[in-house]
Structure 1
Amino acid sequence: MTELREEAREQLEEHVGIARSCALTGVSRASLYRRRCPGRQTVEKASRPSPPNRLSPEECEHVIATLNRAEFVDKSPRQVWAALLDRGVYLASPSTMYRLLRERGQVRERRAQTRHEAKKKPQLTARAPNEVWSWDITRLRGPGPGRFFDLYVMIDIYSRCVVHWEVHARESGELAKQFIENAIWTNGGIAPETIHSDRGTAMTSKSVTDLLSDLGIIKSHSRPKISNDNPYSEAQFKTLKYCPAFPEAFGSLQDARAFCRRFFDYYNHEHYHSGIGLHTPFTVHIGTAHVIQQKRAETIEQFRAANPHRFTRRPSLPKIPTAAWINQPDQADSDQPRLDQQEGVA
């Protein structure tokens, strides 16, 4: 039967060609070619030559040793890259740092988020500091079973700067009212245009509602049970509780306040935030981040000019966003909450 198909194929080949004749008779083209060229060998692809700008083994080990230093071991490679630039040091690009860590099994993904049904989305946009503030309350475990402290945190969504924080033994509308007044006083008496929060009892209390009305501040609330509507506060709390030094429980109210004082001082002044171009929240809040951005560009350019072989193209810095938003306006018609809107807010 095989011989008959081959004879028929040979007769058809003269008229319709190899591909069509094989299709009509059911003969494999690959088998046909192998029979016609029995000595043909598969040519192995030439190995890719090493690029001229590749780091030497010594340079790779130096990068890894720097990333694993005590001051950098808990930071992402992009944050380390930004910190080194501010010191006038350039070792490698963030992607190279990630690649070297990945080769050694030192990177992993930890982020996990929850999805909720959407109803009616609040839509807020800030293009400068003090336009939109977001606040929330989270619980800190205290001494003994069932003992908790309440941490109040106010954050500017544009600069990601924690404007004010307080730790109390309970949650109440009166404490929330005093907290907002203290936040405005701490911010030099400058009040925001809008304050956003979820629908907790303290946030929706009459004392808070009356205060915002008296101050002429627009009140905004999340949809019920939709944490995505308050992404900046939620992500900031996650940053707090993923801190390596965050304890399982606090021994007293004073211990909780002492820890938060250290953490928020670090967060505002030392934390290189991925959502604001790897600058610290305080520099964005007071408007000095653009000067720092220019100095970073000069540092990279000086290194590039001295070591042109290290670059295949001109490197670029992460941009400082021109706006921050809660539920991006062009997504107004979507009923599904988006987790990607929170990317980089922590």
Structure 2
Amino acid sequence: MAAVGLASGVTGVSSEAVLSAAVMLLMATAVVLGVRLSRGARPTRVVVVGDGTSLERVVSGWPEDPAMTVAGGCVVSGLTSVGSLRQVCEAPVAMGLHRLPDLVEDSGADLVLVANGTDPALIREAAWRLERTGVPMAIIGALDFVSPHRVSATQALGTTLLNVSPSRPSAGGRLAKAAIDRVGGVLLLGVALPVLALLFLLVRIDSPGNPVFRQTRIGRDGVPFRMFKLRTMYVDSEARLAELLDRNEVDGNLFKIRHDPRVTRIGSFLRRSSLDELPQLLNVVRGEMSLIGPRPALPEQVTRYDDTIRRRLAVKPGMTGLWQVSGRSDLPYDQAVRLDLHYVDNWRLCDDAVIACRTVGAVISPRGAY
């Protein structure tokens, strides 16, 4: 895979709002899962409650998730006409909390989401009005980018406080991850050696040049290292890059195109199957990479990082990660960054186990692999 650092686009206020709204929806994941288990596998129908601006922001940033659909909106303030909002929601919109129970029942909603920033008195009133429906309610956006396992609630100062645990993993967790990386890396490398030997031969037969591609990448805390991959392109790929820049198919700080003419015949197969990444097991054994983590960036990409994206460098880069199992190259750059930051800030060992299992499915599926 060849990549170059392209200047990341400066997103406008509207795109930031959309991204923020999409992230806020993650906070309702646990509630949604419970609802789906109790209601069956059909999509969870959601009624969103908030002022006109918040409601439009949440619905506009609604992700393409077949598990959740907008069944309606309830405006509590800040809007005199619902016409434009109905177009955004593509669902019924009610004015005033007194209409919330009827909206929930008529729409067959399974869950009510209240936008963060809604007046606490209105939230309490919404809970009262929902009593007859038995439909649960959740508040989204109170803690963006924070996983539920880091949050606990206590009562103090006459109100409810949300306590957020530090994002840095415990010493025991870090030690366990390091041990799994080293031991797992050695075992996997031993198993992979016969496969690697065959792939080395196939790459060498397919096109002239060293079958192993070495490239400088940036690791934890900004330390550079040499990353290993099976070569999937012709040896003159870097020289031919300039003529292809205007064909870039991804946004942000990356370069990728489908049907890249620089990719060899065997290279196309290696990319689809992710077998070109196998030599990185050596990087894992050497302690430069982890089995799971954000993908290692190129030096020229890192020079364009802002303070937020630089947070990716707080952990070792990985052979696979959260955004790789969530769509790979099909994901927009800002969404890939969001997933990486979510992983860094909310890491747990069990999350690595889930990503490892999902990696098998991602490798089998060709989606996003090019």
TM interval, short-chain normalised = under 0.3
Larger Rg: 1
Per the normalisation by structure 2, the TM-score is 0.21
Per the normalisation by structure 1, the TM-score is 0.22
Higher strand share: 2
Structure possessing the higher relative contact order (Cα contacts under 8 Å, 6 or more residues apart): 1
